[in-house]
Amino acid sequence: MAETALARPGRATRRVRVVTSAVIVTAVALAVLVVPPLAQLDQQAVDLANKLDPPSLAHPFGTDDVGRDLLLRCVYGLRVSLLVGLVAALTATVIGTAIGALAGAFGGWTDRIVMRVVDALSSIPHLLLGIFIVAMFRPGVWPVIVSVALTHWISTARIVRSEVLSLRSRPFIDAAVSGGASRTRVVVRHLLPGVLPQAGLAAVLMVPHAMWHESALSFLGLGLPAHQASLGNLVQSARGSLLAGDWWPTLFPGLFLIIPTLALAGLAGAWRDRINPRRKSELML
Residue 107 belongs to a domain? yes
Among 122-131, 201-210, 266-275, the minimum mean pLDDT is found in 266-275
Q: What percent of the chain is predicted at pLDDT more than 70?
A: 85
On whether the CB atoms of residues 94 and 86 are closer than 8 A, the answer is no
Residue 187 belongs to a domain? yes
Chain-wide mean pLDDT for the chain? 78
Q: What CATH number does residue 49 fall under?
A: 1.10.3720.10
CA–CA separation, 48 vs 61, rounded Å?
A: 17
Cα dihedral 63, 65, 68, 74 sign:
negative
Residue 261 belongs to a domain? yes
Instruction: Name the DSSP letter for residue 187.
Output: I
Residue 19 belongs to a domain? no
Question: What tens digit of pLDDT does each residue of 50-70 get?
Answer: 788 888 888 888 888 887 888
What average pLDDT does the segment 199-226 reach?
A: 83
Residue-range definition of the domain harbouring residue 159: 35-284
Instruction: Centre a 10 Å sphere on the Cβ of residue 40 and count the other Cβ atoms it contains.
Output: 13
Residue 114 belongs to a domain? yes
What average pLDDT does the segment 83-98 reach?
A: 90
Max mean pLDDT range (85-99, 113-127, 178-192, 195-209): 85-99
The per-residue pLDDT for 35 is: 64
Nearest Cα to Cα of residue 147 among 85, 102, 73, 100: 85
The per-residue pLDDT for 58 is: 80
Instruction: Name the DSSP letter for residue 69.
Output: B
Residue 6 belongs to a domain? no
Q: What is the number of structural domains in the chain?
A: 1
Q: Identify the residue with better confidence: 95 or 169.
A: 95
pLDDT at 282 over 60: no
Residue 220 belongs to a domain? yes
Residue 236 belongs to a domain? yes
Q: Identify the residue with better confidence: 177 or 105.
A: 105
The per-residue pLDDT for 250 is: 86
What average pLDDT does the segment 86-112 reach?
A: 87
Max mean pLDDT range (23-37, 66-80, 91-105): 91-105
Q: Looking at this protein, which amino acid is placed at residue 11?
A: R
